Amino acid sequence: MSKSYTLAELAKDVGGVVRGDATVRIRRVCGIEEAGPEDITWIAHEKYASRLRTSRAGAVVVDRHFGETPMPAILCDDPSFAMTKVLARFAPPIPQPAPGVHPTAVVAESAQLGHDVRIGPHVVIGERARIGDRCVLHAGVFVGDDTKLGADCVLWPGVVIREGCTLGQRVILHPNVTVGGDGFGYHFRDGVHHKIPQIGTVEIGDDVEVGSGSCIDRAKFGATRIGPGTKIDNLVQIAHNVEIGPGCILVAQCGIAGSTRLGRLVVLGGKIGVRDHISLGDGLRAGACSCISKDFPAGAVVNGIPAVDNQQYLREQAAVRRLPEWSAVLKDLVKRIERLESAADNP
Amino acid sequence: MSKSYTLAELAKDVGGVVRGDATVRIRRVCGIEEAGPEDITWIAHEKYASRLRTSRAGAVVVDRHFGETPMPAILCDDPSFAMTKVLARFAPPIPQPAPGVHPTAVVAESAQLGHDVRIGPHVVIGERARIGDRCVLHAGVFVGDDTKLGADCVLWPGVVIREGCTLGQRVILHPNVTVGGDGFGYHFRDGVHHKIPQIGTVEIGDDVEVGSGSCIDRAKFGATRIGPGTKIDNLVQIAHNVEIGPGCILVAQCGIAGSTRLGRLVVLGGKIGVRDHISLGDGLRAGACSCISKDFPAGAVVNGIPAVDNQQYLREQAAVRRLPEWSAVLKDLVKRIERLESAADNP
Amino acid sequence: MSKSYTLAELAKDVGGVVRGDATVRIRRVCGIEEAGPEDITWIAHEKYASRLRTSRAGAVVVDRHFGETPMPAILCDDPSFAMTKVLARFAPPIPQPAPGVHPTAVVAESAQLGHDVRIGPHVVIGERARIGDRCVLHAGVFVGDDTKLGADCVLWPGVVIREGCTLGQRVILHPNVTVGGDGFGYHFRDGVHHKIPQIGTVEIGDDVEVGSGSCIDRAKFGATRIGPGTKIDNLVQIAHNVEIGPGCILVAQCGIAGSTRLGRLVVLGGKIGVRDHISLGDGLRAGACSCISKDFPAGAVVNGIPAVDNQQYLREQAAVRRLPEWSAVLKDLVKRIERLESAADNP
């Protein structure tokens, strides 16, 4: 039942050339170690090359300049990119609700649905909401009043988008994502935290993807903004009035506090915290688990809690590793100086 | 279509006085930089004052003692607090399900619904549950058996409250919040983690707000408790048998481990971890990303991993920043002492 | 209405013996301080023994060798384990949907339901899905096409399992858990993050429990795997192609990055981050809030950001605590050496 392709067909897909038997039939993509005779694998880095020797893979995708391989190979310019196409070939179709609106869905009369939408069971769509052409709303999705979705969005089960938010085209929201929850804002007075109304909204650009369980809060006023092409992993927190530029990568469990701005192509490793009201320049890269508490310019590479320039961080960490021995050195120095001083006083 | 108010009307709302043209008509609240002629903005801190010069805002809210402004101003005692009232004026009504019970909701016969409740589509309410007057349960909310909600609670879509929990009045639970999931308790014996029954419950006080995706586990026995007026941000984890006092602030992605107690008005920055079975005194404040692993008394200000007194933390961090140079200093000292010793030995 | 048992009955449950009045009737389990005359409490550690003196508890569970107690006691080998049985006695029955399939559930015709399943309101079950005998799917659960659940699984409201995933027997997924969301994989080329198809799946072993809001991503290819008996707390992130061995414990808010492998019985404290493509040996233990960025062998005990051997970590931390005073010592040493040098130059 599973699909199969010849090595020649796959090579054509990825713009590569076959070395060895081009008629080998491939049924699966596998890691080097697990692959069997009907599987294709790949070598992204020269350092994994040695593993090929013992691999039972039927074929391998490698760089054009890669040496001999024990099995037929597809030679290409960029094996990792080639694999995205090979994976696409073998990708089973992603299940979606039947075309149209499931009878158990509750869609406001004033809502506008585009062409060829698929609205699953128990979906709820609010007043005046607009759902773009070919959008897929899986079971149980909630779209609030006046929220607008561009064409070709995919919303997985459990997604909640509150009122008045805007999504671009081809936005993917994974299960249990929340968009447009109230920002966390209070004014402390007379012993009480008075809720500050969060009257803004959320604007998400084209081609944004948001991972399972992540939260993007609505703005206090104006909008919380996610730039086009930005990719957000699971369980990430985006606070009110944050503005994230295009093409950013936010790995799982990051949190960005209120009103902070990220430029273009910023890359935040997993579990990073970013404080409120700061600005991170284009192309900044930050190491996993760091905590960024001040502005950094474009191109900065930072790490640590609090985050500092990565070179500084590496020097600090090297020093911290040696602190236990320094402790001894320091004590020894004190003694030796005392001895010298005492000798100097009593020559 | 958008509402508008004169500066005079807004000044009256906030108990302030107008300086300049009180008839200016305001349609929106905006940041200093984005504001146009129909927008009102504000200056919370003197340090932002310079930005006013280039602002196109139609009006500004400032402190009573603030100097000249290029546009009409509302003078008041507390601009930040005033803005909560201005925002409330402009706040669009928050959408809610129609009064009564949506026909797709599944409400147990033994459940008791208060006056003027709004129960949205696909809501499920368990046996003997009690829903207070004027509660709003948005689409898809789950309320387990025997759970009780005080008056005026708002539960957003995706909220799950398991059986036997209690909410006070005016509690707000944002989308995808979980209340009453099992605490994480196992007894390791003979190579197996035996599940410890979690037979307790959760008690949430009046005026508590819990952010999107946060989790509050039920107690092993007795109750996990959240004090009145405490505000919890998104993706926060509250473990079994935790007790949080009134008026606390827990910023996003904090986690409090089992049986730990927080006093009144404790403020935890984002991403803080607090270990199990410890006690944090009234008014404690902790810096973002810190990890609190022992008791601290009332009024403590702490930071770091592990958290220590904040003054100590600042001194340590200043020292860590200088470690790379100290490394050189230390090596130099060793050499110089060796030279001195050698000179002393061979005078 | 609440159940009650004599001390004799409870002692029999836990394989212990009663010292004192075995007819005392017990209605609740309570902490030492809150317990009253109808409550049973326990002493897990000798250090809590002194609290017994002022306790009003009706009975206490203690170690066989524990001294006199002011109230009747059950003596046994392992009080903590005994308490899991006592708690089980007092555990109210866990609510579940009525037997069969709720009329509002949407179950694909091709889905196979085992014997005695309970499928709650608004549940959605996809094509060819298989639900094992006696499974309980609470309200609003989503099970995708071709997903298979072993017998006796319990899925709480808000759980989403996408297509093609496999769960063993007795798996418990707490509210709002996501299984099988896309892994976070992109290939950056020509300024764009190209989505890498995530064509793999998730395989969860027998007796696994996953806490509220946690996410387990599907593999890029092959499977993300959770070994039998592993327990995962709330808001934990498991990335694509991670493999977790049997019997592991992952405390709340941990995150494991892609393709990382954990051996058997690994214990990760709360909020730990583990980087991608590394391997942690059997029985490794890591302290809360640490960040593990390289391989560690079986039995390792690690801590810190980045994580190092725990003994090294403790020495480093002790040194960091003293850095502020070292700073002064170092400055003093420099001065004293200068003085000695100057004296040596001018004898």
Phi and psi at residue A160, in whole multiples of 5°?
-125, 120
pLDDT digit string, tens, across residues A191-202:
999 999 999 999
How far is the C-alpha of B26 from the C-alpha of B89, rounded, in Å? 11
Residue among A156, A160, A218 with most chain B CBs within 10 A, to mutate: A160
Residue partners of C325: CB distance under 8 A and separation at least 6? none
Count contacts between A and C (CB, < 8 Å): 193
How many helices (H) and strands (E) chain A has is answered by 3, 40
Question: In Å, how far is B73's CA from the nearest CA of chain A?
Answer: 19
- What confidence score (pLDDT) does residue B347 get? 65
Q: What is the DSSP letter of B213?
A: T
Q: Give, for all 347 residues of chain C, the pLDDT tens digit.
A: 478 999 999 999 999 999 999 999 999 998 888 899 999 999 977 777 888 889 999 999 999 998 889 999 999 999 989 999 999 999 889 999 999 999 999 999 999 999 999 999 999 999 999 999 999 999 999 999 999 999 999 999 999 999 999 999 999 999 999 999 999 999 999 999 999 999 999 999 999 999 999 999 999 999 999 999 999 999 999 999 999 999 999 999 999 999 999 999 999 999 999 999 999 999 999 999 999 999 999 999 999 999 999 999 999 999 999 999 988 888 899 899 998 888 887 76
Q: For the stretch B171-199, what's the b/e string if a residue is b when 16 or more beta carbons lie within 10 angstroms of its beta carbon?
A: bbbbbbbbbbbbbbbebeeeeebebbbbb
How far is the C-alpha of B22 from the C-alpha of C179, rounded, in Å? 57
Looking at this protein, which amino acid is placed at residue B149? L
Phi and psi at residue B149, in whole multiples of 5°?
-115, 130
Phi and psi at residue A308, in whole multiples of 5°?
-130, 175
CA distances A15 to A8, A11, A12, A225, Å, are 10, 6, 5, 37
Q: Which of B90, B112, B97 is nearest to B29 (CA)?
A: B90
Question: In Å, how far is C151's CA from the nearest CA of chain A?
Answer: 24
Residue among C141, C174, C234 with most chain B CBs within 10 A, to mutate: C234
Nearest to C184 among A31, A122, A251 (CB): A251
Secondary structure of residue C282 in the 3-state scheme: coil
- Yes or no: say if B145 and B162 are a contact pair by the CB < 8 Å rule: no
Residue partners of A338: CB distance under 8 A and separation at least 6? none
Nearest residue of B to residue A157 by CA position? B158
- Yes or no: say if A231 and A213 are a contact pair by the CB < 8 Å rule: no
pLDDT digit string, tens, across residues B153-171:
999 999 999 999 999 999 9
How far is the C-alpha of B343 from the C-alpha of B337, rounded, in Å? 10
- Yes or no: say if B253 and B268 are a contact pair by the CB < 8 Å rule: no
- Yes or no: say if C295 and C278 are a contact pair by the CB < 8 Å rule: yes
Q: What is the DSSP letter of B142?
A: E
Chain A CB contacts of C182 below 8 Å: 172, 174, 209, 211
Chain A CB contacts of B81 below 8 Å: 187, 189, 194
A158–C158 C-beta distance less than 8 A: yes
State ipTM: 0.95
- What confidence score (pLDDT) does residue A102 get? 98
How far is the C-alpha of C276 from the C-alpha of C260, rounded, in Å? 5
Reported for B304-312, long-range contacts at CB under 8 A and 24+ positions apart, including other chains, are B305/A305, B305/C289, B305/C305, B306/C317, B308/C321, B312/C321, B312/C324
Secondary structure of residue C347 in the 3-state scheme: coil
Q: Which chains form contacts with chain B, at 3 or more CB pairs under 8 Å?
A: A, C
Nearest to C316 among A174, A212, A320 (CB): A320
Looking at this protein, which amino acid is placed at residue C183? G
Chain C CB contacts of A172 below 8 Å: 182
Angle at A200 (CA atoms; ends A198, A205), nearest 5 degrees: 135
- Yes or no: say if C211 and B181 are a contact pair by the CB < 8 Å rule: yes
Catalytic annotation on A277? Answer: no
What is the enclosing helix (H) or strand (E) of A209? strand A209-210
| In the block, residue with structure tokens 């944090």 | B280
B327–A322 C-beta distance less than 8 A: yes
Question: In Å, how far is C193's CA from the nearest CA of chain A?
Answer: 7
Q: What is the dihedral of CA C94, C97, C100, C106, to 10 degrees?
A: -140
Structure tokens belonging to residue A204: 């998400």
Nearest to B252 among A178, A237, A337 (CB): A237
The distance of Cα A172 from the centroid of its chain, to the nearest Å, equals 12
Nearest to B199 among C92, C122, C333 (CB): C92
Q: Give, for all 347 residues of chain A, the pLDDT tens digit.
A: 468 999 999 999 999 999 999 999 999 998 888 899 999 999 977 777 888 889 999 999 999 998 889 999 999 999 989 999 999 999 889 999 999 999 999 999 999 999 999 999 999 999 999 999 999 999 999 999 999 999 999 999 999 999 999 999 999 999 999 999 999 999 999 999 999 999 999 999 999 999 999 999 999 999 999 999 999 999 999 999 999 999 999 999 999 999 999 999 999 999 999 999 999 999 999 999 999 999 999 999 999 999 999 999 999 999 999 999 988 888 899 899 998 888 887 76
Nearest residue of C to residue A270 by CA position? C273
How far is the C-alpha of B246 from the C-alpha of B168, rounded, in Å? 13
A343–B211 C-beta distance less than 8 A: no
Nearest residue of B to residue C123 by CA position? B122
